[in-house]
């Protein structure tokens, strides 16, 4: 791995030495909806893809599956739910027609203002490492801030790691890379929703549950409670309430198949599952005293059927180490699609515990990994 990185560093340096010999300086020429970097007589740029092109762009990504799958899924979800506006997200693609559909960046991909965030992929059969580096450098991003890479195909992660170091001038260091398995579920493979045990009823999350959900959600550092509240208003979700233990007002009981006598009464949130802005089914959680009753399975399948009825891709992103969750989802008909990484990049000397809700994700990181990272600061 170290030899591979050394070779790529050498290649990148040669590229810039050669270009500098032609133009002597690298200059940025901002254009409307475009950010262009000119090096000598060659122009490489990433441009903002207008919303009216999202559908055609998503169609073009089909040929590059499975590595383009998650970006395509995010665009399909955007076309349905129009959520880019909630986080001021944009889709960037190479301006060159020959490169247009071989690289895509969505940024930001989360609502936290404490860090930059993006999801990306590129076709490494068509784009050289040097080209990808210069295209990334042309983006209007601050490469010296903390970053979360929400989605990157795992086979590109070593190259991205080196590029992030170069883009940041050596300031950024990789922290807590989470290998993720992406599983997808086709409509024809989806089992029926199981009946709920006695005393439980289906419902829906609303904005009032945002703090409660974020208190246990591992991705909480990448979002704000205010935006998560808006996600619950805009995206489908499924909640299962217990009628026996009163804690919250049951304002969103699903009428179809539920007990009408619970309407307007209070009930306890026992389990839930949400569709997220990263276009996957997740945030799945069951309160400890309600576990081993099949609630997570019921909530997940209820949500999957709803998404399928709206023509939305159904997939989950699960940490590779979470074998129990992977096994559960495969038992529901989910099949392996591709592998990805969820990565934090932190500047030297930055206090990672200053992130809001960082404790949610820290519990999944081995102490020796945190110590090793601190020793590198």
- Position 328 in a domain: no
Say how far residue 265 (Cα) sits from the centre of its chain. Answer: 36
Report the distance separating Cα 89 and Cα 59, nearest Å: 20
Task: Classify residue 57: in a domain, yes or no.
Answer: yes
Residue 41, domain member (yes or no): yes
Instruction: Check whether residue 274 and residue 367 sit in a common domain.
Output: no
Same domain, 110 and 209: no
Buried b or exposed e, range 99-118, using 16+ CB within 10 angstroms: bbbbbbbbbbbbbbebbbbb
Judgement on whether residues 205 and 304 belong to the same structural domain of the protein = yes
Q: For the segment 40-75, what is each residue's pLDDT rounded down to a tens digit?
A: 334 689 999 999 999 999 999 999 999 999 999 999
Residues 225 and 366 in one domain: no
Residue 97 has pLDDT above 50, yes or no: yes
Number of domains in the chain: 2
Is 334 part of any domain? no
Q: Specify the pLDDT at position 162.
A: 95
Which of 313, 330, 351 corresponds to the end of one domain?
Answer: 313
Instruction: Note the pLDDT tens digit of each residue in 197-213.
Output: 999 999 999 999 998 99
Report whether pLDDT(95) > 90: yes
**Strands, DSSP E only, in 251-334?**
266-275, 281-286, 315-319
pLDDT of residue 225: 87
CA 326 to chain centre: 18
How does 223-237 read in b/e, with b if 16+ C-beta sit within 10 Å?
bbbebbbbbbeebbb
Give the structural domain span for 357.
2-185+339-375
Question: 116 with 233, same domain?
Answer: no
Give the torsion through C-alpha atoms of 339, 67, 223, 288, to 10 deg.
-30
- pTM score above 0.85: no
**Using one digit for the tens of pLDDT, what is the confidence trace for 118-166?**
999 999 999 999 999 999 999 999 999 999 999 999 999 999 999 999 9
| Pair (95, 232) in one structural domain | no
The reply to whether 325 falls in a domain is no
Residues 6 and 138 in one domain: yes
Over residues 217-242, the pLDDT tens digits come to 877 788 888 989 999 999 999 999 99
- Shared domain for 175 and 89, answered yes or no, is yes
Q: Which of 278, 313, 348 is the last residue of a domain?
A: 313
What is the phi-psi region of residue 169: left when phi exceeds 0, alpha when psi lies from -120 to 50, beta otherwise?
A: left
Q: Quick check: is 127 in a domain?
A: yes
Reported as a pLDDT band with limits 50, 70 and 90, residue 246 is very low
Report if residue 275 sits inside a domain.
Answer: yes
Residues 279-301 have pLDDT tens digits of 899 999 999 999 999 999 999 99
**Which pLDDT band holds residue 256 (cuts at 50, 70, 90)?**
very low
Q: Is residue 204 part of a domain?
A: yes
Q: What is the pLDDT of residue 249?
A: 41
- At 265 the pLDDT is 42
Is the pLDDT reported for residue 94 higher than 60? Answer: yes
Chain mean position to CA 85:
16
Please check whether residues 73 and 158 belong to one and the same domain.
yes
More confident residue, 33 or 336: 336
Whether 153 and 219 share a structural domain:
no
**Pair (62, 128) in one structural domain:** yes
CATH number, domain containing residue 234: 3.40.630.30
Most confident of 93-97, 279-283, 348-352: 93-97
66 and 119 housed in the same domain: yes
The burial class, CB within 10 Å (0-12 / 13-18 / 19+), for 373 is middle
Per-residue pLDDT averaged across 317-329, rounded? Answer: 92
Token reading at 150: 């929400």
């Amino acid at each position: 791995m170290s030899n591979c990185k050394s070779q790529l560093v050498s290649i990148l340096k040669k590229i810039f030495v050669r270009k500098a010999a032609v133009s002597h300086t690298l200059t940025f020429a901002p254009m409307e909806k475009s950010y262009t970097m000119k090096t000598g007589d060659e122009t490489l740029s990433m441009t903002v893809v207008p919303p009216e092109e999202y559908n055609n762009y998503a169609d073009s990504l089909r040929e590059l599956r499975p590595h383009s799958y998650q970006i395509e899924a995010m665009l399909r979800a955007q076309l349905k739910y129009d959520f880019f506006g909630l986080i001021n997200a944009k889709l960037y693609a190479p301006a060159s027609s020959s490169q247009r559909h071989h690289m895509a960046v969505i940024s930001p991909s989360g609502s936290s203002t404490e860090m930059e965030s993006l999801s990306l992929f590129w076709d490494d059969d068509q784009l050289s490492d040097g080209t990808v580096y210069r295209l990334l450098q042309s983006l209007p991003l601050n490469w010296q801030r903390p970053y979360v890479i929400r989605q990157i195909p795992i086979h590109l992660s070593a190259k991205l790691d080196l590029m992030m170091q170069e883009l940041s001038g050596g300031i950024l260091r990789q922290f807590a890379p989470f290998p993720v398995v992406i599983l997808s579920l086709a409509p024809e493979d989806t089992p029926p929703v199981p009946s709920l045990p006695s005393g439980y009823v289906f419902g829906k999350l609303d904005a009032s549950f945002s703090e409660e959900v974020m208190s246990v959600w591992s991705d909480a550092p990448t979002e704000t409670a205010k935006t998560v509240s808006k996600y619950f208003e805009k995206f489908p979700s499924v909640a299962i309430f217990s009628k026996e233990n009163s804690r919250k007002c049951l304002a969103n009981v699903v009428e179809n198949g539920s007990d009408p006598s619970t309407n307007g009464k209070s009930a306890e949130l026992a389990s839930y599952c949400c569709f997220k802005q990263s276009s996957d089914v997740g945030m799945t959680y069951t309160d400890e005293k309600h576990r081993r009753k099949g609630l997570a399975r019921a909530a997940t399948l209820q949500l999957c059927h709803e998404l399928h009825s709206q023509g939305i891709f159904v997939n989950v992103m699960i940490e590779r180490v979470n074998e129990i969750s992977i096994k559960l989802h495969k038992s529901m008909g989910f099949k392996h699609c591709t592998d990805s990484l969820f990565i934090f990049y932190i500047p030297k000397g930055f206090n990672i515990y200053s992130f809001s809700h960082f404790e949610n994700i820290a519990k999944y990181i081995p102490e020796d990994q945190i110590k090793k990272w601190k020793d590198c600061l």
